[in-house]
Amino acid sequence: MFLIFFISGCLWLLAVLSLISKKVSELRASVLAYGKLNATADQPTSNWASYLRMWTVPKSWFAHFYVVGFLFSMYCWLELSLAMTFKEKEQTPLLGPLLLSLQKWDSSRGSQSVNWSLCLIGLFLLTLHLARRLYESWFIEKPSPLARMHLSHYFVGLGFYGAMVFGTWLEGVAALPIWLDYNPASRSFCYQDIPIVTTSIGTILFLYASKHQYRCHCILASLRTNNKGDDDDDGKRNSYRIPHGDWFEFLVAPHYTCDVLIYLSLCIIYQARSIILLSGLFWTFLNLSVTASETKTWYISTFPTYPKHRWIMVPGLF
């Protein structure tokens, strides 16, 4: 319960901070903008904001989020699988350091809200998502060597994917033999436990959004025609163009909308019972709406021919 509240609380706090930094000009100037958006961002006017703005890392370090997230999800699979192999006649269940820490420092309250079979489906889908993003970061995307992001973005990104991995199983983990009040009947994967309608809708939406996000990343990479790792002698690795094709025809940053749909699909699968995933969806929606709105401003001021009718996040709404 404590970890659930801590993670959800952090996500809500980050959402509030993201809104504050959009409203406070010194924070907007120093922390909010990243990558290409720095070009049209406000300039800091105070010393502290100018100093804060210098704390940046290469934007290509985005790939680290998926490395860390993917490795953490694989580690979770290992610990959870070992705990699931526990037989009643055995005296001690096989608990790794993560589950032992939960046993010692946390309680089972709040960890019984989600059916364990759904937790396994959710963790599987999130692992797939992280693996695909890792593949895209390494083999598809062509990040600019000049693009930078603030150090705070870097730490938030690392924490976010760890939080989402926890979010897939923490609220159902009381099904495992960690605390005394666990239910032995509910700890293995069972088809009868799966609500067919919400799981099917969520899984189809997840695959549909993943396919479009992949296409959008391919389109963005195709705007830089030289290969990853090539010398930047023709300037293409640092250049930006107007993307066309797929959902780019009606959205500013469809890969952001796809990200929101991916977390929405997980919330549907979990029947909105996971507080962490709901908080993650809220944070992603708010954070990426802010970034997509800044992106639209950047496109319009950079390219006079940019199609202004493209929506920021939700077609027909904004």
Residues near ligand NAP (CB under 6 A): 35-36, 59, 62, 141-144, 147, 160, 213, 220, 223-224, 240-241, 243, 253, 255-256, 259, 284, 287-288
Write down the least CB distance from residue 80 to ligand NAP, Å: 23
Q: Which is nearer to ligand NAP, 187 or 255 (CB)?
A: 255
82 close to 174: Cβ distance less than 8 angstroms: no
Structural element, H or E, at residue 283: helix 275-302
From the CB of 128, what's the least distance to ligand NAP, in Å?
A: 15
Which residue from 4, 261, 5 is spatially nearest to 125, judged by alpha carbons? 261
Query: Which is nearest to 276 in space by CA: 75, 78, 114?
Result: 114
What element of type H or E holds 82? helix 62-84
The distance of closest approach from Cβ of residue 177 to ligand NAP in the complex, given in angstroms and rounded to an integer, is 33
193 Cβ contact partners less than 8 Å away, ≥ 6 residues apart: 115, 116, 117, 118, 186
- Between 51 and 155, whose beta carbon lies closer to ligand NAP? 155
Please state the closest distance from residue 260 (CB atom) to ligand NAP, in A: 8
Tokens of 176: 């495992």
Closest to ligand NAP by CB, 35 or 110: 35
Nearer residue to ligand NAP within complex by CB, 141 or 246? 141
Cβ at position 275, least distance to ligand NAP in Å: 17
Cβ-based nearer residue to ligand NAP, 106 or 141: 141
- Are 170 and 123 in contact, with CB atoms under 8 Å apart? no
